Structure 1
Amino acid sequence: MKGLKGPLLKRKLQFSRTVRLYCSFVTKELLLSNPRYRFWEEFIVPLELESPTQISLVDEASGEKEDVVVTLLPAGHCPGSVMFLFEGCHGNVLYTGDFRFSVGDASRIEHLHSGSRVKDIHSVYLDSTFYDPRFYQIPTREVCLNGISELIRNWICQSSYHVVWLNCKAAYGYEYLFTNLGEEFNTQIHVNNLDMFKKMPEILSYVTTDRRTQIHACRHPKDEEFFHGNRLPCGCSAVDGSPLRIISIKPSTMWFGERTKKTNVIIKTGGSSFRACFSFHSSYSEIKDFLSYLRPVNIYPSVIPIGRTLTEVTQM
């Protein structure tokens, strides 16, 4: 989360009567679970998913007011992530934020439709992270999960000292893996702390701070993470002192997109290191399907893929 505790924004909040942060209820809980963002509490307005809400926008300089209808749509990126659909007198605007849709998902979202037809969308502010032919097709999360599950199963079945470290680069977004792997292996995933999961009971039951489990997603402190290779952050010995047999699995997308040949969803990159294809963002073909279904008048990419220009992205 960047920019949410910047001094300019804090000053804006102090001197404005109208600035608010609209988000999902899950995002609110995640944000306020971090002490650095507690100052947001009086400015947050959580909205229900898929529930159109009228909001009055007031120009603080002129006092002019405009009403818009805002609808939060699930974005499939991480817990709490949403797309914002704005409907007002100047047309409809869809802000996707980070999102992961499969082909055909847009056709199943009720609030993108008016009766049997697609709503007229004037502008889309688009998550264009992988809007690049190099990422034409990214395997679905289900396919990637199956590959990760098979690798884990073949490893941890050998003994209780065989453990797996999910080398996750971010604090959020891997909950899909945690819940499904926890269900698959009837276990809990070891994490550093439970604070951010306490308001998410559907996830909380699948994570633990007990390091005796065989599947780990604990993380190195930031100043150490580049120096220890595959060393398990919580230690390389079992509670009884026996050495652990560790493999690491690093969920990645960019790495797979940079391969010149099509590969499996799991690639061995070292003696005990693996890369697993796993994406939080839609592929090029999924974005193409999304845009061809909505047919917006304007498309504004929020990200310029590495090696591309704004002109190239807008002309794809």
Structure 2
Amino acid sequence: MSTFSGKIQEISHISVDRFDENNLTSEAYFLSHCHYDHMVGLHTHRFQNNLLENNKYLYASEISCAILKLLYPSLKNNIKILDIYTPTALLLKGGNISVLPIPAGHCPGSVMFLFETNIRILYTGDYRINKNDIKKLKAFYDSYKQVKQIETIYLDTTFFLKSYRKFPKREESLEELCKIIKGWTDKGKHFSIKLFTSAKYGYEYMFNEIYKKTGMPVHVNREVFNFYSTIPEMDKSVTLDCNATQIHCSCGISYQYVCDKALNSKIRTIKVSAFRWTQDNLEDGFSSNSSETYYVCYATHASYEEGVELLKFLKPKSVEICVKHEDPLTNLEIAKLIEEVLDEFRSVAEVNVKHKLFETEENVSDESLTVVEEETIFNGFDIGILDSPPRNTWRSSTELQMKAGSSLNNNSVRIHSIQIQSTESVNDIIVQQSLDVVELESDINTEAPPNKKLK
């Protein structure tokens, strides 16, 4: 869960993923993705009036903008799309900036922001990028094909711990998930799946793969269905018809409940999450079961190895910790691990500098010239639906109904200790809907049983 205050210290006149308190004085706002812990304060009348009355803007990816306009139609003229991989210049009183959004691989519409003034700042938001794909992102290279110098990375540290060294690839997790689903639904039409996710949305890629591998969509409720309607690729993956599928998720009165039809069937419960899956647990595979409740490791945040790879590749001067855990010792461990990574390439840089009395071919190290062949630099990586555009046009309620019939020793590492405040009470329907639709992303509290290899 993000504990970021919203303020980029090096660019104090903007705010990212936080829209209350001191952030109200910012000139421009940025949203990395539409998960509730990154939207604190956005629903309040105070923030919305701040945008409207002072002619300020909230910037996000195309999909996030579509979702925001669905949740807050009154703000549609103050919500602006940032094109992926395209730098946008903003002329602000506090100083002009350029912002470049980079796909974060967390959920549809999720992006990292590369801010440039006289320095470069990377804000990752929540992200998960395969460690082999990081160096393929063209946005991290300048026109000379050298890796851009990053001053500070504001880092998603959710799993920056050696206990979460590695997660299975999403494809592997989904292959296991679908095997568990089919092993139950193939028994007969009265055998249903209750799929339990730790957030209301962010599992669109998973739903798509379930549909492709099982031929069945996922039954969801009207609220969730309308939310998914902004993503064209979801058209066949979700349904409002409880009789059209044996797979049910978020189809009851809230996203943690299922409909009566599922409850009246023979149910196998599947819980997808990542927090319970430490390295020790993963030694026996990435699924386990207890009776008819199954647990599958499915991660949408970077593992420790993926986080380390990002830092080693970009070599920032400092790192800002954006996910503060409840246990202070855990935060100290994260900070220590980050400092160890930073020390590795600092020592290499110091050796190179000592020998660079004159610039000659003999003393320019290979490390100082990170030139990558043209064919290895490209704009994207294979994340499919996570990097797809939203619909170009809005659909009416009638059309939606028609579809219903057929998701941390020095100052270089800083820890954010801001706690998320309780949101203001709200009365109007639009605000209440936004609180209901975009749920706080947190893991399931139930402890998983010891791993048992599936046969």
User: How does the TM-score come out when normalised to structure 2?
Assistant: 0.61
Does residue 180 (structure 1) correspond to residue 209 (structure 2)? The answer is yes
Q: Deviations over 1:178-235 (max 9, x none)?
A: 101101122211111221122211112211101110112124435x95xxxxxx6111
Q: For 1:184 and 1:237, locate their aligned partners in 2 and report how far apart those are by CA, in whole Å.
A: 21
- Counterpart residue type for residue 161 of structure 1: H
Aligned equivalent of 1:137? 166
Q: Which amino acid aligns with 2:187?
A: Q
C-alpha displacement of 1:259: 5.8
1:199 match: 230
Counting only pairs closer than 5 Å after superposition, residues 137-156 of structure 1 correspond to structure 2 as 137-156=166-185
Does residue 27 of the first structure (1) align with residue 56 of the second (2)?
no
Q: Report how far residue 311 of structure 1 moved.
A: 4.0
What is residue 303 of structure 1 aligned with on the other side? 323
Instruction: Pick closer, same or farther for the CA change 1:162–1:39 going to 2, 3 Å.
Output: same
Alignment of 1:93-108 (within 5 A): 93-108=121-136
Residue of 228, 234, 258 corresponding to 1:233: 258
2:239 is equivalent to residue 208 of structure 1: yes
Query: How far apart, CA to CA, are the structure 1 residues paired with 2:281 and 2:182?
Result: 29
Q: Given that residues 147 and 266 in structure 1 are in contact (C-alpha distance below 8 angstroms), is that contact kept between their aligned partners in structure 2?
A: yes
* 1:275 and 2:295 correspond: yes
Contact 1:131–1:305 at 8 Å: present in 2 too?
no
**Could you say what secondary structure the match of 2:208 adopts?**
helix
Of 254, 263, 287, 2:307 maps to 287
Q: Report the secondary structure of 1:28's partner residue.
A: helix
Cα distance in structure 2, aligned partners of 1:237 and 1:248 = 11
Q: Secondary structure at the match of 2:42?
A: coil
Pair 40,14 (structure 1): closer, same or farther in 2 beyond 3 Å = closer
Q: Is the 8 A contact 2:207 2:238 kept in 1?
A: yes
Distance 1:237 1:250, change over 3 A: closer
The percent of aligned pairs where both chains have the same amino acid is 29
Q: Structure 1 stretches of 5 or more lacking a match? A: 60-65, 226-231
Alignment of 1:20-169 (within 5 A): 20-34=57-71, 37-59=72-94, 66-89=95-118, 91-114=119-142, 115-169=144-198
Q: Deviations over 1:18-53 (max 9, x none)?
A: x3111011001112222xx33332211111111111
CA distance in 2, matches of 1:83, 1:220: 33
Q: Equivalent residue of 2:66, what SS?
A: helix
Q: Does the 8 Å CA contact 2:114/2:123 hold for their aligned counterparts?
A: yes
SS in 2 for 1:125: strand
Aligned counterparts of 2:155 and 2:207: Cα–Cα separation in 1: 28
Q: Answer with 212-221 or 93-102: which moved more.
A: 212-221
Give, as a single letter, the amino acid of the residue that structure 2 aligns with 1:116. Answer: K
Q: TM-score, normalised by structure 1?
A: 0.87
Q: 1:3 aligns with which of 26, 33, 41?
A: 41
CA distance in 2, matches of 1:52, 1:96: 16
Query: Following the alignment from structure 2 to structure 1, what is the Cα–Cα distance between the partners of residues 235 and 92?
Result: 37
Of residues 279-288 and 24-33 in structure 1, the stretch that sits farther from structure 2 once superposed is 24-33
- Identify which range, 122-131 or 152-161, moves more after superposition: 152-161
Deviations 1:75-126 (Å, cap 9, x if unpaired)? 000111000011112x001100000111122101001111322100111000
Equivalent-residue separation in structure 2 for 1:196 and 1:284 (angstroms) = 32
Could you tell me which residue of structure 2 aligns to residue 228 of structure 1? none
Distance 1:32 1:9, change over 3 A: same
Q: Is residue 273 of structure 2 the alignment partner of residue 252 of structure 1?
A: yes
Amino acid at match of 1:214: Q
Distance 1:300 1:203 in 2: 35
Residue aligning to 2:418 = none
How far off is 1:285 after superposition?
A: 0.9
Q: Give the aligned CA root-mean-square deviation in angstroms.
A: 2.1
Query: Is the 2:193–2:262 contact (alpha carbons within 8 Å) kept by the matching residues of 1?
Result: no
Alignment check: 8 A CA contact 1:300 1:314 kept: no
SS at match of 1:255: coil
- 2:249 aligned with 1:217: yes
Structure 1 stretch displaced more, 184-193 or 295-304: 184-193
Residue 258 of structure 1: CA displacement? 8.4
- 1: distance between equivalents of 2:108 and 2:262? 33
Cross-structure match for 1:266: 287
Aligned equivalents of 1:20, 1:104: Cα separation in 2: 35
- The alignment covers a number of residue pairs equal to 294
Which structure has more helix as a fraction of its residues? 2
After superposition, the C-alpha distances for 1:116-171 in whole angstroms (9 at most, x for unaligned) are 22100111000010011111111111111111011111111111111111112312
Aligned-partner SS, 1:13: helix
The amino acid of 1:75's aligned partner reads A
Measure the CA separation in 2 of the matches of 1:306 and 1:280. Answer: 20
Indicate the structure with greater strand content. Answer: 1
Task: Give, in whole Å, the separation in 2 of the partners of 1:305 and 1:237.
Answer: 36
